[in-house]
Amino acid sequence: MSLVISLTCALLATSLQQWTRRYLKNTQTKRCPPQEQARKRAFFADGMDEMPMPLPRAVEGMAVLLHLSVFLFFAGLLVFLFNINSTVSIPVTSWIAFFLLVYLCITLMPLVHPSSPYHAPFSTLACFSCACLAYICFLCLTSIAYRTHRYGAQLKFRKFKEHCRRWMSGGHTKVVQKYILEMSTIDLRILDWTLHALGGDDSRERFFQSISGFFGSGLVKNLRRDFSFDLARTFMETLYGFMNRTLSSNSVPKENKESRLKIYKDVMNVIPGPTIPSEFLDQAVKNVQIEAPQPIETGQTFALWFENPDKKMSNCAQERVVRILFHTNVEDRDDRWEALAARQFNLSDRADLHRHINSRNNDVLLYLLNRVISEATLTNSLSASSASILSTLSNLATHEINPDLRRDFCQLWNTNIDRASDPGANQTPIEILRRLHRPFFALHQGTDVEPAGFTADTNDEDPQMLQFTSYRQCTLPDHLTLHQ
């Protein structure tokens, strides 16, 4: 049987080659008009579709027969050797057993890992058999759940049963399609591969020009959520290098520079990432006139990355937004600034925020600073993003400050000093205090409680800032009294 089947496969393979040559000869004739060649291709394509057994199935069947002939040969060889010489049959049997185990793993690999490149002619049959077996099992479980009045389990088993039925009808191809639709990270891997495969600047221009459509497409999902910090850094390094070469080159026409700067702006609005060199565009517009995005617009784009599971990326995005909020001019703190601040600091009620925006120059910054201090003090923990936010907001100017906001600040300062004096306390109070020494010194300079261990110019990383004795409590009655 092994010999007969192998000869049959050889005959079918030869026939397949002859069929292919005949098709190519009839459809790709030299000096044949295109319309006639197209009609020939359509004619033979119709003939292939009308055949009772499609050609791909015939090719797969031939591979199955070839593998079957090898297994029959092994079986016959073992029978032959066992009757001749047991000493020779033992190592041969061991090798065949090992080979069959490996072959079984290769056959079942697509069931366990649908993305596996390993596949055997019997994998499709194994997939169908497993789907049938699972369908029968869930069918029985559904019937049992119905008879025992467990309707919740019945619905669950019925769902699995329908899944197995679709698996039976679609096979491995449908399983692969299902996995592809559920894997959002596969689009990011495609983006990463494309970035590393880009050639010259012309291909990079076409790539970045299509990014807006890529992120706006309904076919890709959760890109912002799953976008990693490393990918964002690679993306922006590629974009920055592309734009730097464009602006520094004398061989690139001015209209091309303007076009690429517009592409840069569109990309920045769609996919900024925390590593974007935001100052680069400001420098570039001096050479080529183009409308640059406003800081608040940039901050709104950064805010889209707050929910990214990559904490490094989320923290960097929040730090950028805080810097934008801090450095925005007083006259530019409009409704958009207020909405961005409310989103950054999780303010569901914006009444106090709105009131402080319209009161004094830096009242709103001190109000936001107090909120961050209060949250860190309440939770007794300071995340990397909160620490950076404290360091940024603590640079605010403290002249003409709201007395009640100053009172809140001093009370929070005293609370953290009390906690830092506890021998069993962690480092959080000290970490908070050393980042707040600038506004505290500015608010108490020239008073009886002026700090002696540091000044406004003392660096946060100075070793003395880690000593509890460097800090003094605020005991000024005017600073601890409610004024409104």
The answer to which of 70-74, 413-417, 446-450 has the lowest mean pLDDT is 446-450
Confidence of residue 75 (pLDDT cuts 50, 70, 90): very high
Tens of pLDDT along 229-271?
788 778 888 887 888 788 778 888 878 887 887 787 778 767 7
The angle at the Cα of 230, spanning 306 to 194, to the nearest 5 degrees, equals 110
Tens of pLDDT along 277-320?
555 555 555 555 445 556 787 777 778 777 776 777 778 778 88
Per-residue pLDDT, 166 = 65
Per-residue pLDDT, 236 = 80
Per-residue pLDDT, 328 = 84
What's the CA gap between 468 and 473, in Å, rounded? 11
Q: Specify whether the CB–CB gap between 122 and 64 falls below 8 A.
A: yes
Tens of pLDDT along 7-16?
988 898 888 8
> 115: closest CA among 185, 175, 181, 188?
175
Q: Which residues contact 307 (CB under 8 A, 6 or more apart)?
A: 224, 225, 314
Per-residue pLDDT, 168 = 64
Per-residue pLDDT, 97 = 93
The dihedral sign for the CA sequence 398, 403, 409, 415 = positive
Mean pLDDT value across the chain: 80
Exposure string of 70-83, with b = 16+ CB inside 10 Å and e = fewer, is eebebeeeeeebee
Our separate counts of H helices and E strands in the chain read 22, 0
Amino acid at 205: E
Residue 276 predicted with pLDDT over 60? no
Q: Is 394 helix (H, G, I), strand (E, B) or coil?
A: coil
Question: Which of 67-71, 231-235, 466-470 is predicted most confidently?
Answer: 67-71
Q: Specify whether the CB–CB gap between 171 and 149 falls below 8 A.
A: no
What's the CA gap between 246 and 242, in Å, rounded? 6
What's the CA gap between 248 and 240, in Å, rounded? 12
Q: Where are the domains of the chain?
A: 2-84, 123-182, 186-304, 349-479
Residue with tokens 């703190």: 333
Tens of pLDDT along 334-353?
888 989 899 888 888 888 88
Residue 406 predicted with pLDDT over 80? yes
Tens of pLDDT along 25-46?
887 777 778 888 888 888 888 8
- Please provide the DSSP assignment of 77-119 as one string: HHHHHHHH-HHHHHHHHHHHHHHHHHHHHHHHHHHH-TT-S--
- The 8-class DSSP code of residue 1 comes to -
Per-residue pLDDT, 184 = 59
Percentage of the chain exceeding pLDDT 90: 8
